[in-house]
A and B are shown apart, each in its own frame.
Chain A
Amino acid sequence: MTPLPQHPLRRVVISTFEDLAMLFTHGTANDGGPTAPVTCAARVAFAGPRSGFVDVRASDDVVAAAARNMLADDAAGPDLCFDAIAELANVICGNLTPSLGERDAVYRLAAPVRAPLVPAPDADACVELAVETGRVEVRLVFTEPAAVRS
């Protein structure tokens, strides 16, 4: 695992959950925090000087809280709940790309899609955080050549 993107990923994940979903992180999921299973996962692929994807995987209560806060709706259905996690993945990916080198590079982001609930192997960076009473895992994976289709 490449250590370089670790800190930018962590910073971007925390700020995105706080600013977009008004959800606050408290430590890592490995610190004896919540171990709830992941029930929703979204992937955003990026292409530019480097190509790859960002997976955001979240447990049920994080998904529900994100949808509730982002939509001001206590009864968001499954599609909107996924859309909330997908938008978090989109914003995380968009704000992460300047940290990947060549700050002025233009990256193209693909539309978010559902990601496997099983974590992607060989992540180049990974952040696991306790959020509210649940947990979030975010993985950055570089793929060469470009992962985004034109």
Chain B
Amino acid sequence: MPINVLLVDDSAVMRRMITRTLQLSGVPLGAVVPCANGAEALEALRVSRVDLALVDINMPVMDGEQFLDHVRADPRLAPLPVVIVSTESSPTRVQRLRQKGALFVHKPFTPELLRDTIHSLPGLAHDPAAPTPAPPGGDLDF
């Protein structure tokens, strides 16, 4: 079943790179809802049904951790799986994000890491019967 993804990053380049990574890495991708910050993403969640949010941390207006706090505080949104995709390197902050129920992917990342992280989420596990196309060019790091 296709996964609808909320993609929150203030970099248009990174949004395109992540989208391309998802397309190449065998994730059954449905709609991608791009947003440039956490506030835009909360607004998008009012009108879009998504199965997963991929969220940067350092963004203007509302950062990724503030967005995560809003999501977890809203009973309607709280179950949304959130994967933080960031350069954040502080173990304390990464641990704090994990305690808030987010998974973490460090930039730069490989397509395989992003794919495996998404497939590790409950309800988004990979269907082994589905074909998994290999990314052209082999092991690409993003």
Check if B30 is an interface residue, CB within 8 A of chain A: no
Partner of B58, one of A20, A83, A90: A90
Q: How big is chain B's contact interface, by range?
A: 20 to 34
- The answer to whether A19 and B58 touch across the interface, beta carbons within 8 angstroms, is no
Nearest CB to that of B9 among chain A residues? A87
Check if B16 is an interface residue, CB within 8 A of chain A: yes
**Interface residues in A41-99 (C-beta closer than 8 Å to B):** 67, 70-72, 79-80, 83-84, 86-87, 90-91, 93-95, 97-98
Interface of B is mostly: loop
- The answer to whether A80 and B58 touch across the interface, beta carbons within 8 angstroms, is no
- The answer to whether B90 and A104 touch across the interface, beta carbons within 8 angstroms, is yes
Nearest CB to that of B95 among chain A residues? A104
Contacts of A83 in B (CB 8 A): 11-13
Interface of A is mostly: helix
Contacts of B89 in A (CB 8 A): 94-95, 97-98, 103
| A binding-site residues for B, Cβ under 8 Å | 16, 18-20, 22, 67, 70-72, 79-80, 83-84, 86-87, 90-91, 93-95, 97-98, 103-112
Tell me which of B13, B58, B86, B107 has the highest count of chain A C-beta atoms within 10 A of its own C-beta: B13
B57 CB to closest chain A CB (Å) equals 8
Partner of A19, one of B16, B60, B142: B142
A110 CB to closest chain B CB (Å) equals 8
Partner of B87, one of A67, A93, A103: A93
- The answer to whether A20 and B90 touch across the interface, beta carbons within 8 angstroms, is no
Contacts of B20 in A (CB 8 A): 71-72
Nearest CB to that of B59 among chain A residues? A111
- The answer to whether A71 and B58 touch across the interface, beta carbons within 8 angstroms, is no
Contacts of A94 in B (CB 8 A): 58, 86-89, 107
Check if B93 is an interface residue, CB within 8 A of chain A: yes
Contacts of B108 in A (CB 8 A): 16, 19-20, 91
Mind listing 27 A-B residue pairs with CB under 8 Å?
A: A19-B108, A19-B142, A20-B142, A70-B142, A71-B16, A71-B17, A71-B20, A72-B20, A80-B12, A80-B13, A83-B12, A83-B13, A84-B13, A86-B11, A87-B11, A87-B13, A90-B87, A91-B107, A94-B87, A94-B89, A95-B87, A95-B89, A95-B107, A103-B90, A104-B92, A106-B92, A109-B87
Check if B140 is an interface residue, CB within 8 A of chain A: yes
A83–B107 CA distance with the chains assembled, in angstroms: 16
A103–B91 CA distance with the chains assembled, in angstroms: 8
A10–B89 CA distance with the chains assembled, in angstroms: 18
Which 5 A-B pairs give the minimum distances between C-beta atoms? A94-B87, A19-B141, A19-B108, A109-B58, A98-B89
